[in-house]
Chains A and B, each alone.
Chain A
Amino acid sequence: MEALKQELKEKIIDVLNLEDIAVEDVNDNDPLFGDGLGLDSIDALELIVMLDKDYGIKLADPKEGKAIFQSIETMAKYISENRTK
């Protein structure tokens, strides 16, 4: 689980071009959207593709992402329970 969290942090920084943010800056329970990392709806769509491409999880409705992408913690939990690759 810790490895997955670390991996997610690295991926998010890379995929979303968060140049000024280091892995250490992201806490497991920090909100990813809004006040935390400041991600927005376009980033959510990027993360949906990441779930599909890297973990074999398909979300049909972007609204489902809201609960999953609350934090690194929630993302890691969802991925470990639902991943197909």
Chain B
Amino acid sequence: MKKCYINGTGCVSSQKTINTAFLQDIIVNENENVLELSVPDYKEVIPPAAARRMAKGVKNGIVASHWAMKEAGVHNLDAIITGTGMGCCIDSEKFLKALIDNKEEFLTPTSFIQSTHNTVGGQIALGLECKAYNFTYVNGAVSFESSLIDAKMQLDEEEAATILVGGVEENAEATTNFLQLTGIIKPKEQSSYSVLDSDTTGAVFSEGAVFFVLEDDKKETTYAELNDVTIYNTLEKEEVEAKLESFLKGNGLSVNDIDAVVLGYNGDTLYDGYYTILADGVLKNTQQLYYKHLSGEFNTASAFGLWVASHVVKLQEAPEVLSVNDVKAAGYKNILLYNQYRGKDHSFTLVSQC
């Protein structure tokens, strides 16, 4: 069975994460309930003629994938696999509003075409003229992990050697308003919004695009080996520990072998208990890291989490801004990631130094 190496990454987020050293220019913003995107230079990557119809999610996806491929030094892909929980919200809303406002008349096709969930993957393929396998996963907070599972199987089975995989979400006005109405996004004027010291429900949201080049060969740019990924649609808090242990066992490991765990804390008091039950229990003596205070919450925020974990393994350093507890590992051989969203779409991901 072939191995799976993370050989390149590209990250567009609410932080400055393009063309900068790992977490060099971090700003911890606890004043906004929706973190603004740090807009990358689109023109550097996308010709204006091609960009003219693209909403920001598509552009961010193309930019992130461009940098991931550049870093890995790859030009040809055997598969493009994208995860996006909410898809292309901006164009969906645009078309839907026009439809309602104009009573189904004088509608134009562009926003409808761009509203399709697989627009990002399709546009990346179109730009690269890549005729390879092209899948898009759209299942909430496991959209990105589903993409990883698919990619890993294809590398295992030697159906593919070089795969581009990523997660993308974009914020759109109405969708963001709706999520505030339901309380999923924390209300405005409730700041400051601390993730770890939160006493309110809901989360601070944001958006972004994080892409990875996964290959079956280790090379100079390799960050880490992606060992395993598993997902569960629903778990009770009491079930998480057993699932975590069986996941590790499946990889010949136990909790003692884990040097650091990256947890998906988002400051939602209704659901952060899924993390604390582990943090106060089986992972008590393990170094604990978090990242959603930097990235904000969104369906594929866990891709930002993997981006963080990959860097920690590669650089053998975990910046203080990521720390949840005081435990410090001597080195970072095995890192476990656990994420869930509102008690659903749980995922365990394991990466290791190689």
Contacts and interface: CB of A to CB of B under 8 A. Distances in A.
Determine whether A and B are in direct contact in the complex, meaning some CB atoms lie less than 8 angstroms apart: yes
Interface of A: 15-20, 38, 42, 45-46, 49, 52-53
B115 to A, nearest CB: 13
A20 B108 CA distance: 22
B331 interface: no
B73 interface: no
Contact of B107 (A19, A20, A42, A49): A49
A42 B52 contact: no
Contacts of A16: 52
Contacts of A42: 53, 109-110, 113
Among B53, B108, B109, the most chain A Cβ lie within 10 Å of the Cβ of: B108
B49 interface: yes
Interface in B40-96: 48-49, 52-53
Contacts of B107: 49
Interface in B103-155: 106-110, 113
A62 B113 CA distance: 17
B335 to A, nearest CB: 43
Given A16-B52, A38-B49, 19 more contacts: A17-B52, A17-B53, A19-B48, A19-B52, A20-B48, A20-B49, A42-B53, A42-B110, A42-B113, A45-B108, A45-B109, A46-B108, A46-B109, A46-B110, A49-B106, A49-B107, A49-B108, A52-B106, A53-B106
Nearest to B114: A42
Nearest to A18: B52
B278 to A, nearest CB: 48
B343 to A, nearest CB: 41
Interface of B: 48-49, 52-53, 106-110, 113
Nearest to A16: B52
A44 to B, nearest CB: 10
Nearest to B53: A17
B101 to A, nearest CB: 13
A17 B55 CA distance: 12
Nearest to B48: A20
Contacts of A45: 108-109
A52 B53 CA distance: 21
Q: Which 3 A-B pairs have the closest CB atoms?
A: A17-B52, A53-B106, A49-B108
Nearest to A39: B49
A73 B48 CA distance: 26
Nearest to B107: A49
A17 B51 CA distance: 9
B141 to A, nearest CB: 33
A53 B110 CA distance: 16
Nearest to A47: B108
A20 B50 CA distance: 12
Nearest to B54: A17
Contacts of A17: 52-53
Nearest to B52: A17
A32 B273 CA distance: 59
A15 B279 CA distance: 53
Nearest to B109: A45
Nearest to A48: B108
B262 to A, nearest CB: 40
A49 B99 CA distance: 14
A18 B108 CA distance: 16
A77 B17 CA distance: 52
A12 to B, nearest CB: 12
Contacts of A52: 106
A46 B110 CA distance: 8
A45 B106 CA distance: 11
B154 to A, nearest CB: 32
Contacts of B53: 17, 42
